[in-house]
Amino acid sequence: MSCTTIDFANYVSDGDSRLWPTLGPNRGQRQAQPLAPLLVVLRDYILAHHALEFLPFNGSLRVLNLPPGYIATVYTNAKGRPVHTCHGHPRGGQWTSFASFIPHIIAILRGDVARCGCVLCLRHRGQGTPARKLPRPFWQIR
């Protein structure tokens, strides 16, 4: 059985790496979070909620990378607990969990961040210019 692969390197992204926090190796400093477990969560979310949107989908799915310009980070807070955040939204801010970032990733997959329902887009929707509409994903172009 063949596998459908979503490689975000092939997608147009609105992510902005200039908005990432400073990363460092010391305790208490933010570090890039390992991607493998996050990509499994993202794959499972897509399979559960959006699989029928993908024309070439055949029952098996693999997700590679986060969209360009985005990063998932982790740091230890003053109480010794790990704190997970995601960064790169073009208007700044951070998602306080990977789960709250997933709706934005789905909007990038659809090529329509102008109608994104993530918490950061909803917060910024009434402020300033509207989010730009991205080109359609390559798998939707006929």
Extended beta strands in 1-142, E state: 4-7, 31-32, 61-64, 71-76, 82-87
More confident: 29 or 14: 14
Note whether 66 and 8 are within 8 A (CB): yes
Q: Tell me the H-state helices in 28-128.
A: 35-49, 98-110, 119-125
**Which amino acid is present at 76?**
T
Q: Who has greater pLDDT, 34 or 133?
A: 34
Q: What is the pLDDT of residue 29?
A: 82
Q: Is the pLDDT of residue 14 over 90?
A: yes
* The model's pTM: 0.79
Q: What is the pLDDT of residues 79-110, one digit of tens each?
A: 988 889 999 999 889 999 999 999 999 999 88
Residue 139 has pLDDT above 60, yes or no: no
Q: Does position 20 have pLDDT exceeding 80, yes or no?
A: yes
Query: What pLDDT shows up at residue 70?
Result: 95
